[in-house]
Structure 1
Amino acid sequence: MSNHRIAGLTGAVLAGGQARRMGHVNKALVTVGGAAVIDRILARLEETCEHVMVIANDPAPYESRGLSVFPDAMPGHGALGGLHAALLNAPTEAVFVCGCDMPFISPALIRHLAFSIGDHDAAVPRDGYGLQPLHAIYARRIASLVPPFLVRGDLRMERFVAALNACILPPDDIAAYTEEAEVFFNVNTPDDLEQARAKAGEA
């Protein structure tokens, strides 16, 4: 698989969650496979995306990494608010968005999403559990579609995606990119963290 960076693609890590189920520990900074989760993510984004940035209302934990850090334009609206900030601040027309707690994101799948988006508003994978809107690419031009959802408190990413002209990649289409690791796995709880560390050890 090619290691070139995809021109016109920004990678954005959403790092604004409160991590209640992790006891308010910053999930981005816990270690998996000997590295902070966010550093695992950034390494993959930096080999894949032309630009990389972090969306976080507290920039302090990420400033040492030499990346641009942007706050939510409308704070307190979860991942959808983070997506809004990413779209507003991205220097490119396409933005790959992922959570800061996803240690196994797939550069190969990112490339497939970038190939698939075409003129669509988004390219979003769907596995056996449903849509995976936090391992997806969005067109920057849809930024203006987000605030109405935020204002009325309609914050489910899946509902926002349903309102778009999105390219939904079904399980069969993404199987080749997900068979080696659980690319959508996220670290929400201490038990999840132990599972992630075990998976990284197996890899």
Structure 2
Amino acid sequence: MNVTGIVIAGGRSSRMGRNKALLPIGGLPLIERLVREMEQITDRLIIISNDEAPYRYLGKEIIPDLYKQAGPLAGIHAGLSASESSWNLITACDMPFVNKAALHRLRLEAETICAIEQELSSSEPTEAVIPRNLDGVLPLLAVYNRSVLPDLDAALREEQLRLIPWTQTLRAAYIPASELCREAGLTEEMLSYNMNRPGDYEKACRIYEELGSR
């Protein structure tokens, strides 16, 4: 099945103090590293950002939010609206350790579920595949079916902007984050790690340096 990759690069990075998508990690801007990993296992790749200029050099489609200042739900909505695929692999730009192997395992889970449901002619097909660990779910490292768009649009129009409560309304399949970690050679902390403050970025750089020295 065709899968569109969607990288959400939006957000004001106010706590970071600068555009976190462009912070260098291991010699590459974070978003470029993520795009390189994702483009290997998706059929099309879209970047979601209200500012096209910083990412034009990547040579990818850049789509703005249709709902402004509405948080990550607006990014998911913009990506799914621009996509022509039923299934869409979504990740946020501030997860520095997500790699091709983790993304591929997530795509494979969606493909397997889709094949089984087609074989069984399921009347209530799965709408999302979301990793889960002991701390909760990872809704910004997940696969979503485009069929969720009408309900997502309604939530945004009603200003119901909380991401996890919205995912709880979906017919979601949950995959243990440990399965992605095993494929990707990551710890669960690394898989779910995201950067909001300068200290988060400094810690991510230290981890990369330690990994590179092994």
Task: Indicate yes or no: 2:146 matched with 1:163.
Answer: no
Which of 32, 36, 57 does residue 29 from structure 2 map onto? 36
**Percent of aligned pairs with the same amino acid:** 32
Amino acid at match of 1:12: I
Judge conservation of contact 2:102–2:181 (CA < 8 Å) in 1.
Answer: no
Task: Indicate yes or no: 2:181 matched with 1:188.
Answer: no
- Structure 1 equivalent of residue 85 of structure 2: 92
- Structure 2 equivalent of residue 13 of structure 1: 7
1:54-84 deviation per Cα after TM superposition (whole angstroms, max 9, x unaligned): 0011111111111100011111111000000
TM-score, normalised to structure 2, is: 0.86
Aligned-pair CA distance for 1:51: 0.8
Task: Indicate yes or no: 2:194 matched with 1:200.
Answer: no
Q: Mean alpha-carbon deviation: is it higher for 53-62 or for 169-178?
A: 169-178
Alignment gaps of 5+ in structure 1 = 1-6
1:17-96 equivalent positions in 2, closer than 5 A: 17-23=11-17, 25-96=18-89
Aligned-pair CA distance for 1:91: 2.6
Q: Mean alpha-carbon deviation: is it higher for 155-164 or for 102-111?
A: 102-111
- Structure 1 equivalent of residue 135 of structure 2: 129
Alignment gaps of 5+ in structure 2 = 115-124
- Structure 2 equivalent of residue 3 of structure 1: none
TM-score, normalised to structure 1, is: 0.90
- Structure 2 equivalent of residue 106 of structure 1: 99
Judge conservation of contact 2:38–2:99 (CA < 8 Å) in 1.
Answer: no
CA RMSD of aligned residues (A): 1.6
Pick closer, same or farther for the CA change 1:122–1:199 going to 2, 3 Å.
same
Which of 108, 126, 143 does residue 120 from structure 1 map onto? 126
Q: Secondary structure of 2:194's match?
A: coil
Q: Secondary structure of 1:183's match?
A: helix
1:33-72 deviation per Cα after TM superposition (whole angstroms, max 9, x unaligned): 1110001101101111111110011111111111100011
Pick closer, same or farther for the CA change 1:175–1:42 going to 2, 3 Å.
closer
- Structure 2 equivalent of residue 151 of structure 1: 157
Judge conservation of contact 1:106–1:177 (CA < 8 Å) in 2.
Answer: no
Amino acid at match of 2:50: N
Question: What is the aligned residue count?
Answer: 196
Q: Mean alpha-carbon deviation: is it higher for 165-174 or for 41-50?
A: 165-174
